Amino acid sequence: MTRAFTEIAFTKGVRERQSEQGSRESYAALDDETADRGDRLTAAEAQFIRARDGFYQATVSESGWPYVQFRGGPVGFLKVLDDKTLAYADFRGNRQYISHGNLGSDSRVSIILMDYPNRARLKIWAQAQQKTIAGNETLAASVTEKGYRGLPERVILLTVEAFDWNCPQHIPQRFTLAELAPDLNVMRNRIRALEEENAELKAFLKSST
């Protein structure tokens, strides 16, 4: 946990609840303004981000309501440009443009990246900029995956303000078909071998009678 994270997440109301529940003291060291803010991604965060094929993104509407959307793409479509900057191609979806509209009035976003097999979760707070494809062709090319069917409509640049890792206590283990494929192939090959062996035994028994 970092000081940058607590500066954003630990509001007055949050700190009051922590005091009531007895956890405020355990976070007191993070109030030290001389401590490193911890708002720059390290190699661990960069590696984790590059391995993901999707994330949950929250924006804030003009009415104050949060809006959470899943953003998906090929593995690594969320690019790490440097230790303070992320970027991704905003592919065309159902054309409701809720996140797009929200970012026009409030640039703050929160994203959650999940690794279900390893029960890991990374939360990131950032300021977003929306860049048009026209006039930003080099940037757009750097975040667009060749061969991916999605149509990019704009580029989203994220300036990281804070991040935090969650404990795995309540994260369920889930696996995609791609993640299960190696083990499933082993099982399929074993089943095929057993079926062939069974067929041979049946043929032998039939010929012996």
User: Which pLDDT score, from 0 to 100, does residue 79 have?
Assistant: 97
- According to CATH, the superfamily of the domain at 39-165 is Electron Transport, Fmn-binding Protein; Chain A (2.30.110.10)
Residue 51 banded pLDDT, cuts 50, 70, 90:
very high
Least-confidence region, from 1-5, 48-52, 71-75, 160-164: 1-5
Residue 35 banded pLDDT, cuts 50, 70, 90:
confident
Q: What is the pTM of this model?
A: 0.86
User: Which pLDDT score, from 0 to 100, does residue 148 have?
Assistant: 85
Evaluate the CA torsion angle 131, 136, 141, 143 in order and state its sign.
negative
Q: Do 119 and 168 form a contact (C-beta atoms < 8 A)?
A: yes
Residue 61 banded pLDDT, cuts 50, 70, 90:
very high
How distant, in Å, are the alpha carbons of 58, 149, 178, 186 from that of 165? 17, 32, 25, 34
Closest of 118, 106, 47, 102 to residue 69, by C-alpha: 102
User: Which pLDDT score, from 0 to 100, does residue 90 have?
Assistant: 92
Tell me the mean pLDDT in the region 15-34: 88
Least-confidence region, from 25-39, 40-54, 87-101, 125-139: 25-39
Residue 161 banded pLDDT, cuts 50, 70, 90:
very high
Tell me the mean pLDDT in the region 96-102: 94
Helices (H), 88-176: 98-105, 137-143
Domain locations in the chain as residue ranges: 1-38, 39-165, 175-209
